[in-house]
Amino acid sequence: MTHQALIEELKTLVDSGKLLTDTDSLASHGIDWTKHFTPAPMAIAFPRSVEQVQAIVRWANECNVALVPSGGRTGLSAAAVAANGEVVVSFDYMNRILEFNEMDRTVVCEPGVVTEQLQQFAQEQGLYYPVDFASAGSSQIGGNIGTNAGGIKVIRYGMTRDWVAGLKVVTGKGELLELNKDLIKNATGYDLRQLFIGAEGTLGFVVEATMRLTRAPKNLTAMVLGAPDFDSIMPVLHAFQKELDLTAFEFFSDKAMAKVLARGDVPAPFDTECPFYALLEFEAASEEVMDQALAVFERCMEEGWVLDGVMSQSEQQLENLWKLREYISETIAHWTPYKNDVSVTVGKVPAFLRDIDEIVTKNYPDFEVVWFGHIGDGNLHLNILKPETMDKDEFFAKCATVNQWVFETVQKYNGSISAEHGVGMTKRDYLYYSRSAEEIAVMKAVKAVFDPNGIMNPGKIFAV
């Protein structure tokens, strides 16, 4: 079939005007936040119903056309990039909240519902959707599920996986499966729902998701603490976790802090300069909890783990303390940073961080290394800033070597080469650092069960 004939057929499967092939649409919808790939999709389809999604998948099987799912396109691993003539299936018009079940505290969402839209909906019901991260204003629920999105509240609330009560999916064969039926307890064989969470659209499309909500937190209170060295951060985490249910435990280095303060729009938390900082948050639901938190803080000071600290006394102060952490990414973007998102178990974090730091500093003494991350989850974001004088190409070439060291160190510590950004295309060639050959073979065989013709997001997670 000719390219034009394919397009004409595809047009009949969606609403009028919901198949786009203009250059701008192909460019904008063929890519995510990774910028190393050149988008080259065949067309962008915007289904409005489950039936239309099924029709597209059946058509793709018949015509042997690859499909790429597209949500908010905020991904950082190129899982939603269409660079090889694929049809992009965008869920921008399947973006309704369909149902709210008060007694179950669940919300039935179409996949195109934006994270923030769900968060706000929850708030209107006096409830809370706790998965939160920088791109919540544009990322979509379908994409969050595809990558098992994490973010800043994982230490208390877990990943997206923990909030998916049920899924409707269209498999690579075009079959509609209703997985788990929104039940809390359901011991009827394999929980196939779990396979689709984090599958990056390689098994099928999520076409409906029932998400759980929870009680809204009361009087969230943050502390920023300065530590004399990285090793002190971990006992601080441990001491607080013993007494409180932390809702966040983030860390960042003095370099990150300095760059954010240099913007001039966020006040310093205190005067003492420290090499590392922790930001922790908890529900100060009562005076007693507040007293407990202060007691732990004092103990950390006495032990020498903390040099200085501050606790938010108002909503405004809470926001300002969070800005110290939240503004980091945006602030360092100016230095064209090499970024990597990795994880190890929490206990291994100090040794892992020291190893990477040493390797980079020894080999590239002119590189500035900026660490921050969700340390309570063992999740580190490594950022290396391009020296102002260095050429971009030279910098990226050197970073390829850094990549190798990082992944080797991850393997040494039995960690993950992608903590929360997925594999997509950017990390698929390094997958074996985190998953064994046997596991990868099993994953490919599982994919073949759901997608025998290999039309679902091919080239993502594994090479074709």
Q: How far is CA 197 from CA 74, 157, 211, 309, in A?
A: 17, 16, 13, 39
Q: How far is CA 118 from CA 80, 154, 240, 248, 265, in A?
A: 22, 17, 30, 20, 30
Total chain residues near a copy of itself (CB under 8 A): 87
Q: How many CA atoms are closer than 13 Å to the CA of 252, on its beta-carbon side?
A: 23
Residue 197 near a copy of itself by CB under 8 A: yes
* Cβ atoms of 360 and 371 closer than 8 Å: no
Residues in 11-70 that interact with a copy of itself by CB under 8 A: none
Q: From the CB of 212, what's the least distance to a copy of itself, in Å?
A: 11
* Dist CA 462 CA 464 (whole Å): 6
Residue 181 near a copy of itself by CB under 8 A: yes
- Among 111, 112, 130, 150, contact with a copy of itself (rule: CB under 8 A): 150
* The residue count for the chain: 464
Tokens of residue 79, six digits: 């899982």
User: Which one, 103 or 464, has the nearer CB to a copy of itself?
Assistant: 103
Q: How far is CA 307 from CA 32, 227, 232, 261, 447, in A?
A: 41, 6, 10, 19, 51
Residue 175 near a copy of itself by CB under 8 A: yes
* Cβ atoms of 135 and 114 closer than 8 Å: no
Residue 126 near a copy of itself by CB under 8 A: yes
Which among 42-50, 133-141, 151-159, 330-338 is the span making contact with a copy of itself, rule CB under 8 A? 151-159
Residue 351 near a copy of itself by CB under 8 A: no
User: Which one, 101 or 138, has the nearer CB to a copy of itself?
Assistant: 101
Tokens of residue 217, six digits: 């937190």
Q: Binding string to a copy of itself for residues 281 to 320, with x set by CB under 8 A, is what?
A: ----xxxxx-------------------------------
User: Which one, 345 or 401, has the nearer CB to a copy of itself?
Assistant: 345
Residue 445 near a copy of itself by CB under 8 A: yes
* Dist CA 137 CA 115 (whole Å): 6
The residues near 22 (Cβ < 8 Å, ≥ 6 apart) are none
Residue 223 near a copy of itself by CB under 8 A: no
Residue 177 near a copy of itself by CB under 8 A: yes
Residue 344 near a copy of itself by CB under 8 A: yes
* Dist CA 370 CA 328 (whole Å): 9
* Cβ atoms of 403 and 336 closer than 8 Å: no
Q: From the CB of 302, what's the least distance to a copy of itself, in Å?
A: 20
Residue 241 near a copy of itself by CB under 8 A: yes
Q: Binding string to a copy of itself for residues 70 to 109, with x set by CB under 8 A, is what?
A: -------------------------------xxxxxx---
User: Which one, 8 or 175, has the nearer CB to a copy of itself?
Assistant: 175
Residue 263 near a copy of itself by CB under 8 A: no
Tokens of residue 444, six digits: 């490919």
User: Which one, 1 or 449, has the nearer CB to a copy of itself?
Assistant: 449
Residue 184 near a copy of itself by CB under 8 A: yes
Q: Where are the alpha helices (DSSP H) in 246-391?
A: 254-262, 287-303, 315-326, 328-332, 349-363
Residue 186 near a copy of itself by CB under 8 A: yes
Residues in 404-443 that interact with a copy of itself by CB under 8 A: 414-423, 427, 431, 434-436, 438-440, 442-443
Residue 463 near a copy of itself by CB under 8 A: no
Residue 377 near a copy of itself by CB under 8 A: yes
Residue 147 near a copy of itself by CB under 8 A: yes
User: Which one, 12 or 286, has the nearer CB to a copy of itself?
Assistant: 286
User: Which one, 25 or 434, has the nearer CB to a copy of itself?
Assistant: 434
User: Which one, 361 or 414, has the nearer CB to a copy of itself?
Assistant: 414
* Dist CA 162 CA 420 (whole Å): 14
Residue 192 near a copy of itself by CB under 8 A: yes
**Which has the closest alpha carbon to 450: 144, 206, 208?**
206
Q: From the CB of 249, what's the least distance to a copy of itself, in Å?
A: 12
Beta strands per DSSP E along 102-217: 106-109, 127-128, 164-171, 176-179, 204-212, 214-215
* Dist CA 222 CA 219 (whole Å): 10
User: Which one, 269 or 458, has the nearer CB to a copy of itself?
Assistant: 458
* Dist CA 44 CA 98 (whole Å): 24
Which amino acid belongs to residue 420?
Answer: E
Beta strands per DSSP E along 71-163: 87-90, 97-101, 106-109, 127-128
- Among 31, 87, 152, 346, contact with a copy of itself (rule: CB under 8 A): 346
Q: From the CB of 198, what's the least distance to a copy of itself, in Å?
A: 6
> Degrees (nearest 5) of the Cα angle 375, 377, 378?
60
Residue 245 near a copy of itself by CB under 8 A: yes
* Max Cα-Cα span within the chain: 75
